[in-house]
Amino acid sequence: MTESRTKTWTRREMLRLGGGGTVLLTMSLAGCSASGGTAEDPPDDDAPVDPDRPLESPMLTEQVEAGELPPLEERLPIEADRLVVDGPDSLGVFGGTYNGAVLGQGDDPWLERMIGYEPMLRVDPQLEEIIPGIFKDIEVSDDGTEFTIHMRQGMRWSDGEPFTADDVMFAFENVYHNEEIHPTFPGTFAVDGDRATAERIDDHTVELTFPGPKGDFLDLASRAAQWWAHNLAFYPKHYLEQFLPENNPDLDAEAEAAGFGSWVDYWEDRIQWWNNPDKPVLFPWVITDTLNTGTRVVAERNPYYWKVDSGGAQLPYIDRLEFETVHEEEVMLLKGVNGELDFHSRHFNTDANKPVLAEGREEGDYDFVTVQTTSMNRMIISLNLNHKDDDLREIFQNRDFRIGLSHAIDRQDIIDTVYQRQGEPWQAAPHRESEFFDEEFAKQYTEYDVDLANQHLDAAGLTAKDGDGYRLRPDGNRLRFSLDVTTLFPEWANAADMVRRYWAEVGVDMQVNPIERTLFYERKDVAANEHDANVWAGDGGLKVEMLETRWWFPSGGEANYAMAWASYFDTRGEGEHAQEPPDYALRQMELAWQIPREPEPEVQKDLFREILQISKEQFYVIGIASAADGYAIAKNNLRNVVPSFPDSWLYLTPGPVDIPTWFFEN
């Protein structure tokens, strides 16, 4: 095992290889071990492996002996095509039930994170490198336009049907090209809107040809695991073809009989695997008791799962997952304290609850796992640069005004008072551990200096004041605006109130407007555009810098400081409410459009650095404090859990930490 632990491949290298030469990425089997990147000791290779160690769960052996299931060899892919995965601790033992919890109906993302992270390729637990996943390999041509998908021979869906090139072709031709399911063709399989073509080479090979270089395809392939993501390995043809109208003339009637208005709704219901146990999957566990019935969700092991450990035993180790449906976070917290949750990294893992959980560690027999933040800021204040009011818009767009407000805030005081002294004064700039970290960017204008603040505000032309010492707008009225704050993080309300007082000291009248989050979203929606200013967290900034771009330039639906400019970027200027941004933002957008067309990762990064440079100069938003790491809880007898993993919904974390290798120590 040690010898075969070949070089691991970073995402960068894979992309470079993709551009620079055709290299088969499949490494020797054991080389695919995904345990890299953790501080834990690697599996103890010298320990003698019990020759009688069972290679499949006793639960399955029983079924094989009863003739209900074919033997292990027939259920796994051919030996050369099995994905070998070892956890950070050791080889595991079979059996046991994982106990967890979901927070009501809306919590299907937790099931996806725990069970469903099986995209076309994977990332390692630290989100640093792309490694083989469902597909053994995706081979890239020199010019970055042809991608050859190599599948695993003998791989099967959870119902025992073979998973072949037909399924991939079905996904590409019948699902993604279906205009009713996908009114717009998925960008994953297109370059600048021009579609790729797919060709079935043989039973286990498919070739995708793009009209131009597709520099981000492997990256997209390594995180497309959400049910609505673009994953060629999500659609079992033999099951799903009956739900497409071309294969089933009675489909509309069937959809109606099942209580759906149209076949598309029916289709969508059928592919949501957590509510449909009939849909074959490639996941380690298969849902047997769905989320929308009863008081819990149960998933049992997939007898056809295609990963093995280095001892040749079929994963997963744990036979069964049970998630109790809990409606209240407090109840979940009590369950955590009582040691009833084997692993949980959601809902109740807030800073405020950490002392309670810390106290219960011994009795509850669990411990903390670090969940590294991928955000760069706890709280970012966006002034609406696209404000409907001409005067306010002009004032907010004045860079001196924003710099003045930034200098007026005593960030250290906020950190000490509200954030338990965790974090440091920080702008909306990449995280300290990011490769794009720029000290100057992160620290600019964070110095608390009332005089300097006043100078900048005066420079912004706001010199006239009223009797109470508040600055006046050009039209002679008091400069006054509200700051929308949701209750998502309770600390925000306190911090926002402190900011209100700091700004009052420099003559700016801001009112904190605590609102319900739905209303928050409605007010900031590009069509409504009713907010003056608001507060949100600094998503992105570490490990996902180039993917989460909302704070670098106006992009996506969450760029609260310039929703109309962001809409211009998202719709390429065609959105109903899009406004053409000024030159500097336009330049950033052009750079962002250029990035995926560049096959060379270093070039991509240089383009991205240019985007960051412009956002540093423009200083769109005011950041407060750098984000601190979060935590998860894990029972002490649950083994192979990494001590630390980054948090990112893009990658459905903790999905990438190889949950199938978890096992219970007796």
| DSSP for residue 472 | B
> Is the Cβ of residue 310 or residue 644 nearer to other proteins in the bound state?
644
Q: Which two tokens stand for residue 257?
A: 């009989």
As measured in angstroms, the least distance from the Cβ of 68 to other proteins is 21
What number of H helices and E strands is found in the chain?
22, 25
As measured in angstroms, the least distance from the Cβ of 346 to other proteins is 7
Please select the residue that binds other proteins; options are 81, 309, 342, 647, rule is CB under 8 A. 647
> Is the Cβ of residue 518 or residue 666 nearer to other proteins in the bound state?
518
Please report whether residue 543 would count as binding other proteins according to CB under 8 A: no
Please report whether residue 71 would count as binding other proteins according to CB under 8 A: no
Please select the residue that binds other proteins; options are 28, 197, 338, 511, rule is CB under 8 A. 338
Torsion of CA 374, 377, 378, 384, to 10 degrees: -120
CA–CA dist 484, 383 (Å, integer): 10
Please select the residue that binds other proteins; options are 203, 265, 391, 602, rule is CB under 8 A. 265
List Cβ neighbours of 512 (8 Å cut-off, separation of 6 or more): 482, 483, 485, 493, 496, 497, 500
CA–CA dist 363, 342 (Å, integer): 14
CA–CA dist 336, 356 (Å, integer): 10
Residues from 224 through 253 that contact other proteins (CB under 8 A): 228
Strand, coil or helix: 594:
helix
| Site track 554-593 with other proteins (rule: CB under 8 A), x = hit | ---xx-----------x-----------------------
As measured in angstroms, the least distance from the Cβ of 187 to other proteins is 10
| Site track 347-376 with other proteins (rule: CB under 8 A), x = hit | x-----------------------------
Please report whether residue 496 would count as binding other proteins according to CB under 8 A: no
Please select the residue that binds other proteins; options are 413, 517, 584, 606, rule is CB under 8 A. 517
Please select the residue that binds other proteins; options are 12, 296, 361, 480, rule is CB under 8 A. 296
> Is the Cβ of residue 147 or residue 266 nearer to other proteins in the bound state?
266
**What is the 3 state secondary structure string of 622-660?**
EECECCCCEEEEEECCEECCCCEEECCHHHCCCHHHCHH
Of 193-201, 330-338, 394-402, 613-621, the window that binds other proteins (rule: CB under 8 A) is: 330-338
> What is the number of other CB atoms lying within 10 angstroms of the CB of residue 78?
12
> What is the number of other CB atoms lying within 10 angstroms of the CB of residue 202?
9
As measured in angstroms, the least distance from the Cβ of 649 to other proteins is 5
Please report whether residue 522 would count as binding other proteins according to CB under 8 A: yes
Q: Which residues of 571-605 are buried (b: 16+ CB within 10 A; e: fewer)?
A: eeeebeebbebeeebbebbebbeebbbbbbbeebb
Please select the residue that binds other proteins; options are 184, 202, 439, 440, rule is CB under 8 A. 184
**Residues in contact with other proteins, total (CB under 8 A)?**
53
Strand, coil or helix: 419:
coil
Amino acid letter for position 13: E
Cis peptide before 213 (omega within 30 of 0): no
As measured in angstroms, the least distance from the Cβ of 327 to other proteins is 5
Q: Which two tokens stand for residue 532?
A: 């003056």
Please report whether residue 504 would count as binding other proteins according to CB under 8 A: no
Please select the residue that binds other proteins; options are 166, 324, 530, 665, rule is CB under 8 A. 324
> Is the Cβ of residue 114 or residue 395 nearer to other proteins in the bound state?
114
Closest C-alpha to 498, from 622, 409, 592: 409
> Is the Cβ of residue 107 or residue 137 nearer to other proteins in the bound state?
107
Residues from 404 through 443 that contact other proteins (CB under 8 A): none
Please select the residue that binds other proteins; options are 24, 65, 327, 365, rule is CB under 8 A. 327
CA–CA dist 27, 221 (Å, integer): 18
Question: For the purposes of burial, counting CB atoms within 10 Å of the CB of 246, is it exposed (0-12), middle (13-18) or buried (19 or more)?
Answer: exposed
Please report whether residue 335 would count as binding other proteins according to CB under 8 A: yes
As measured in angstroms, the least distance from the Cβ of 631 to other proteins is 14
Question: For the purposes of burial, counting CB atoms within 10 Å of the CB of 250, is it exposed (0-12), middle (13-18) or buried (19 or more)?
Answer: exposed
Please report whether residue 334 would count as binding other proteins according to CB under 8 A: yes
Please report whether residue 666 would count as binding other proteins according to CB under 8 A: no
> What is the number of other CB atoms lying within 10 angstroms of the CB of residue 487?
12
Q: Which two tokens stand for residue 199?
A: 């060709």
Closest C-alpha to 371, from 89, 585, 157, 627: 627
Angle between helices 390-397 and 399-407 (to 10 degrees): 70
Of 49-57, 99-107, 161-169, 465-473, the window that binds other proteins (rule: CB under 8 A) is: 99-107
> Is the Cβ of residue 263 or residue 445 nearer to other proteins in the bound state?
263
Q: Which two tokens stand for residue 3?
A: 């010898």
Which residues here bind other proteins, judged by CB under 8 A?
Answer: 99, 104-107, 109, 183-184, 228, 259, 261-262, 264-265, 268-269, 272, 275, 292-296, 322, 324-328, 330-331, 334-335, 337-338, 340, 346-347, 488, 516-522, 539, 557-558, 570, 647, 649-650
